[in-house]
A = this chain, B = another copy of it.
Amino acid sequence: MSQPFLLGILGGMGPLATLDLMAKLLRATPASRDQQQIPHVAWNVPQIADRQDALAGRGPSPLPQLLHGVEQLNRVGVSHIVIACNTAHHWYDELAQHSAAPLLHIADATLAALESKPARVGLIATQGTLDAGWFQQRFATIGSTSVLPTAQELQQWFVPGSYAVKRGELRAGGELLNLQAQALLDRGAETLVLACTEVPLALDAVASPLLAQAIDPTLALAEQCAQLWLARREARI
């Protein structure tokens, strides 16, 4: 019959963001015992070329390492794959072409979570993700305009903030990223989309009140995975 449900997580970008997705998967799944939780395998191998450097033309492409991870996940029989990094979705098409298991896209999950259809959505993301336009294109389909960080804001707040998180300095990162978030609200954003895995972690660490107006794409992706698993789980009863 149908293949067993087994979620593959292409992670390591960074390794802490992978743990964050896993924790959100567990919290998104109603379970009264271990066996009801979502079965998953996480490829959490951070020895992979820097995505931001690659997209800025300053370093090698991470594609070979990403393809290796997808290949290994397929080898152990995953039924679906998610990528625990917004920026790495730049290589989504190539990865999807080389994977027997379908890849879920984090921007599709985020769109599904934007129930309020805000007129203006503030998007916090890497330059690579902003340039790619996946989020902006999807927001446009529901009539939402994207409010983006400026190049100067990225350099002043976003880039040092996200690298601080990668070093484990969550509070320092949170203070910088909170300034970035406030700037987008000041320019008219009604809802924020925190489309870099480090950002929700950092804003949590400083208990930012701006989180009340924010969507976390990692959480949206976890909720989509939980729905897929629950449909399969219930069908077996």
A interface residues, Cβ below 8 angstroms from B: 6, 12-16, 18-19, 22-23, 26, 31-48, 50, 72, 75-77, 166-168
Contacts and interface: CB of A to CB of B under 8 A. Distances in A.
Contact of A34 (B13, B35, B39, B77): B13
B35 A47 contact: yes
Integer count of this chain's copies in the complex: 2
A204 to B, nearest CB: 15
Contact of A39 (B32, B35, B47): B47
29 contacts: A6-B45, A12-B37, A12-B39, A14-B34, A15-B22, A15-B34, A16-B26, A18-B22, A19-B22, A19-B23, A19-B26, A22-B22, A22-B42, A22-B44, A33-B167, A34-B46, A34-B166, A37-B46, A39-B44, A39-B45, A39-B46, A40-B44, A41-B41, A41-B42, A41-B43, A41-B44, A42-B44, A72-B76, A75-B75
Contacts of A12: 34, 37, 39
Contacts of A47: 35, 39
Top 8 A-B pairs, shortest CB-CB distance: A14-B34, A34-B46, A39-B45, A72-B76, A42-B42, A37-B46, A15-B37, A40-B44
